[in-house]
Amino acid sequence: MGEINKNDVEKYLENNPQFAKEYFDRKLRAEALGNIFKVNPGDVKDGISFKEMTKLEESHLLFELLMEIQDETVSLERTVHKVLKRLAQLLEADRCSLFIYRSRNGSPEVATRLLNVTPTSTYESCLIPPEREIFFPLDMGIVGWAAHTKKFYNIPNVKKNDHFCDFVDQQTGYTTVNMLATAVTQGKEVLAVIMAVNKKNAPEFSKADEEVFKKYINFISIPLKQYHTTYLYNIESRKSQMLLWSANKVFEELTDIERQFHKALYTIRMYLNCERYSVGLLDMTKEKEFYDEWPIKLGEVEPYKGPKTPDGREVNFYKIIDYILHGKEEIKVIPSPPADHWCLVSGLPTYVAENGFICNMMNAPADEYFNFQKEAFDETGWLIKNVLSLPIVNKKEEIVGVATFYNRKDGKPFDEYDEQITEMLTQFLGWSVLNTDTYDKMNKLENRKEIAQEMLMYQTKATPDEVESILQYRDKLEQECIEDCEERDLIKILKEELPDPKEVDLYEFRFSDFPVDEYDLIKCGIRLFFELNVVEKFKVPAEVLTRWMYTVRKGYRDITYHNWRHGFNVGQTMFTLLMTGKIKKYYSDLEAFAMVAAAFCHDIDHRGTNNLYQMKSSSPLAKLHGSSILERHHLEYSKTLLQDETLNIFQNLNKRQHEVVLHLFEVAIIATDLALYFKKRTMFQKIVDAIEKMEKEEDAIRYITMDPIKKEVIMAMMMTGCDLSAITKPWEVQSEVAIMVANEFWEQGDLERTVLQQQPIPMMDRNKADELPKLQVGFIDFVCTFVYKEFSRFHKEITPMLSGLLNNRVQWKARAEVYEQKLKALEEEKKKKEEAAAAKRGGGGGGGGGGEDDGKSKTCTIL
Ligand SMILES: [Zn+2]
């Protein structure tokens, strides 16, 4: 044979394929193959065949895949994409896809994760971001069916398959003809579904294709399983972190509910894996305070018709705590949030509070039922995407709040594990609330004990000697034992001891306690009940009445202003409003009795500091009562006295009468909390408006007496009128009382400075004593004028109070102006001095100036 050229060899090989195959299988050198396929030559042995080489090539690819699977920095989707690319090539499939299996709201679903994977497609073009994903339940499509049955399917013609559904085709504009599909599982759990679609160059996928498909699914299931295991591990560790936290924190610090919530939610924020969460706290009160019921009962406010919790409370979020975890961490507390606050406006928290459901919503802004804010909240551009909302339930099965979580940090929707982990969290919160509850109860008992002891220590019931000093049965009835005396005789000798009301002006608005000593004020107090004719009518034993009045006096502490004199004045004014002011006609004798008695007790055991101070100094009282702290204490104290039968002036009433009295005590005493004054003023004004238009007295009486709520509103306003009555007294009295009030305030201011280390407000700052006239004018204008103007309009007999008030305003105003003038003069003098000094300096080096000027001019020598 001559020389063989390249063409001849090619020709021979083409014509003898069998030979070519055998030759290459047998002879091809490893190094050459290594070069062709870029395989590491060390892996290739001499004499390796082509067939073996393709296997080698494949195993190398698989090895590369394995390496990638082991690399934790490569995402699950990227690895699966690589396998699917290869699979598409080997199967000659038009494309491959990955569907992820998950569960939300208790139902399973599948969602697109990688679509349209071809041998050449890029990862980015195939990955479906959460906001574009298509998801559907398991009863839809072959994918759903594969997930449901956990089996493998080779479907030559989808049109002939009952389970086929063109849902995804319609969404993507693709036409599926045939497919291979299988579920990837771990134990009993489905993790994903893999699909190869539309065989190229053949009508369907072959048996050999099935083998290749199944083989490669193994390489996909490894990363899927690994990812799932890591994910579950992560969930477990977050769970145990929370368990640990709960053991440490929940039971360690049992103080108040809100701090508890706050601390809990803040502590676990890193385990929550969401961008933001908010907690809405629900009002737990089932019954409203009497003053909040008034406007409804008077028909001024519509009764509540909105949603209610399963246990019948109005859905009222009184506070929202908003935790922002994306970007800069921040916590916002929103007290009394408006209904259109973004946390509430969707209606979802209300829905959850109403029904107690867990709601896991994907792409929440697109929801039609709920109205989520679609725009950005602030300049960060943060948007709501996915929302998981669930109730916080305590052990009593009451919904105490709603926790809402927004946007999982990885952008994916919340799944069943998120539901589990947040449910666990809200359960803990519920429990902690219960704990706080029981703790609160214990604490309240403790406080009660403390207060009771304090009460006993400070105040002792009037002694027999003290009672006898007024009720002189031994001297006057010549009996050794009071039990041996006739009640009629006791009443007689008691009355003899009491002052003449005319002599001490007991019927007058201008009454002053100054000429009467504190002991005689006890007698004056008893006298008022006789004047009301309630002692005989309600069979109040003379001894009990005397002991009660004496004990009430002793219940007042000897403080600067809120002492027995103030207590007596309020009782006397109540009496005067009823009798001289003619308000008695709307009330029964029993009611008048209770009102005057409550007025005497209204500030009993006052400590000379106000409600705010109780809160700031966390006094036992503040721990016991949530609002109207002192007023509730005065009420409790008064009721405690009445529980002692030897002090119970209402002992001969029947049960219903007794209830009336206790209710009036509550309304009257709580009403003296000036914070509630603004709630009742318009209600009172409306009653006065209506009365003013009536011509006949009977009409007015009927209008008021027919409606117990109107009577309560008027009584509450009377209490305010009595409590502030010092401002209506003759100037000689008012000017002195004002100094006493101011002194008590200044004493509190001193306590704030020393004990609480806080700067007191001007009213309580003794360094600003000169501002008193100005403060008095302000107090008259903003609070008092309304009260006495309306009372004068209500009953002209009460006009002396308004006149007194207006006179005092003139006095205070004059003094305020004098002070203003003085300040102005001082200011001007200062200004003149400064100008003179400046002029001197402006004159230049000539004068040389005194020492003072020299000292000042050091910084001003430029000119
Ligand atoms: Zn008072």
**How many angstroms does the Cα of residue 601 sit away from the middle of ligand 1?**
9
Q: What is the pLDDT of residues 796-845, one digit of tens each?
A: 999 999 999 999 999 999 999 998 898 888 888 888 888 888 887 765 44
Q: What is the pLDDT of residues 75-109, one digit of tens each?
A: 888 888 988 888 888 888 999 999 999 988 888 99
Mean pLDDT (the chain) is 84
**How many angstroms does the Cα of residue 686 sit away from the middle of ligand 1?**
25
Q: What is the DSSP letter of 761?
A: P
Q: How confident is the model at residue 249 (pLDDT cuts 50, 70, 90)?
A: very low
Sequence ranges of the binding site for Zn(2+): 566, 602-603, 723
Q: What's the whole-number mean pLDDT along residues 548-562?
A: 93
Query: Which carries the bigger pLDDT value, residue 2 or residue 169?
Result: 169
> Would you state the pLDDT for residue 241?
63
**How many angstroms does the Cα of residue 303 sit away from the middle of ligand 1?**
33
> Would you state the pLDDT for residue 256?
53
Query: Which carries the bigger pLDDT value, residue 808 or residue 434?
Result: 808
Q: What's the whole-number mean pLDDT along residues 548-566?
A: 94
pLDDT above 80 (res 647):
yes
**C-alpha span between 350 and 353 (Å, rounded):** 5
Q: What is the pLDDT of residues 737-796, one digit of tens each?
A: 999 999 999 999 998 888 888 888 888 899 988 889 999 999 999 889 999 999 999 999
Which among 393, 465, 436 is positioned nearest to 249, based on CA atoms? Answer: 436
**C-alpha span between 622 and 607 (Å, rounded):** 13
> Would you state the pLDDT for residue 161?
87
Q: What's the whole-number mean pLDDT along residues 329-352?
A: 85
For residue 67 the two structure tokens come to 């390496």
Q: What is the pLDDT of residues 188-247, one digit of tens each?
A: 889 999 999 999 888 899 998 898 888 888 878 877 887 888 888 777 767 666 655 544
> Would you state the pLDDT for residue 538?
95
**Residue 764 half-sphere exposure toward CB, CA atoms < 13 A:** 18
Query: Which carries the bigger pLDDT value, residue 443 or residue 412?
Result: 412
Q: How confident is the model at residue 550 (pLDDT cuts 50, 70, 90)?
A: very high
- Which range of 331-340, 424-433, 698-707 scores highest in mean pLDDT? It is 698-707
In the set 163, 228, 262, 562, the catalytic residue is 562
Q: What's the whole-number mean pLDDT along residues 325-343?
A: 81
pLDDT above 90 (res 434):
no
**How many angstroms does the Cα of residue 725 sit away from the middle of ligand 1?**
10
pLDDT above 60 (res 653):
yes
Q: What's the whole-number mean pLDDT along residues 702-715?
A: 94
pLDDT above 70 (res 42):
no
- Which range of 79-83, 583-587, 621-625 scores highest in mean pLDDT? It is 583-587
> Would you state the pLDDT for residue 601?
96
- Which range of 99-113, 163-177, 657-671, 846-860 scores highest in mean pLDDT? It is 657-671
**C-alpha span between 789 and 776 (Å, rounded):** 17
Q: What's the whole-number mean pLDDT along residues 296-300?
A: 84
**C-alpha span between 660 and 680 (Å, rounded):** 21
Query: Which carries the bigger pLDDT value, residue 220 or residue 513?
Result: 513
**How many angstroms does the Cα of residue 708 sit away from the middle of ligand 1?**
24
- Which range of 373-387, 671-685, 792-806 scores highest in mean pLDDT? It is 792-806
For residue 569 the two structure tokens come to 């004045």
pLDDT above 70 (res 304):
yes
Which among 747, 767, 449 is positioned nearest to 610, based on CA atoms? Answer: 747
Q: How confident is the model at residue 252 (pLDDT cuts 50, 70, 90)?
A: very low
pLDDT above 70 (res 454):
no
**C-alpha span between 166 and 187 (Å, rounded):** 30
Whether the predicted model's global pTM rises above the 0.85 cut: no
Q: How confident is the model at residue 253 (pLDDT cuts 50, 70, 90)?
A: very low
Q: Which residues pair with 396 in a beta bridge?
A: none
- Is 562 noted as a catalytic residue in this protein? yes
pLDDT above 90 (res 494):
yes
Sequence ranges of the binding site: 562-566, 602-603, 723, 776
Q: How confident is the model at residue 250 (pLDDT cuts 50, 70, 90)?
A: very low
Q: What percent of the chain has pLDDT over 70?
A: 85
**How many angstroms does the Cα of residue 799 sit away from the middle of ligand 1?**
22
Q: What percent of the chain has pLDDT over 90?
A: 40
Long-range CB contact pairs, 574-577, < 8 A, 24+: 574/599, 574/718, 574/719, 574/722, 575/506, 575/528, 575/531, 575/532, 575/599, 576/506, 576/507, 576/508, 576/509, 576/511, 577/718, 577/721, 577/722, 577/791, 577/798
> Would you state the pLDDT for residue 257?
58
Sequence ranges of the binding site for AMP: 562-566, 603, 723, 776
pLDDT above 50 (res 861):
no
**How many angstroms does the Cα of residue 855 sit away from the middle of ligand 1?**
55
Q: What's the whole-number mean pLDDT along residues 548-554?
A: 95
**How many angstroms does the Cα of residue 671 sit away from the middle of ligand 1?**
10
Q: How confident is the model at residue 863 (pLDDT cuts 50, 70, 90)?
A: very low
Classify residue 811 as exposed, middle or buried by CB count within 10 Å of its CB (0-12, 13-18, 19+).
middle
**How many angstroms does the Cα of residue 727 sit away from the middle of ligand 1?**
13
